[in-house]
Amino acid sequence: MLSLELLAAVAGLNILFNLPVAVRRLHDSNLSGKFILIPILIFIVTFLVPEAMAPYLDYLGMVSSLMDLLSILFLSMMLLKSSPGPNEYGVLPQKITVS
């Protein structure tokens, strides 16, 4: 059986390696790359803070619901259609041609 520490390590590496791709995708939609902090915050609250949250178990349901909503928000931002034409982050990758 997989341990929680191994699962946290795999999730952390997944977030780390996908950061540049997610930031480029956000820029394609003309959104700031700062929104990448949402999954990082979810990772920190989910895996790294539970021991410190023991005195606040009454609020755990509310925090869990907030993390769910933030996950849905980030997923919807990643699924947005790219903005047409160049935006403030540069030319869309579909428009770049190599000759």
Please give the average per-residue pLDDT across 69-95, as a whole number. Answer: 78
Give me the pLDDT at residue 46, please: 72
Render pLDDT for 15-58 as a digit per residue (tens, 0 to 9).
Answer: 788 888 888 888 888 888 888 888 888 777 776 666 666 666 66
Give me the pLDDT at residue 65, please: 79
The phi, psi pair for 49, rounded to 5°, reads -105, -10
pTM summary value:
0.66
Burial 50-88 (b: 16+ CB within 10 A, else e): eeeeeeeeeeeeeeeeebeebeeebeebbeeeeeeeeee
Residue 82 — pLDDT band, cuts 50, 70, 90? confident
Contacts of 78 (CB under 8 A, 6+ apart): 22, 25, 26
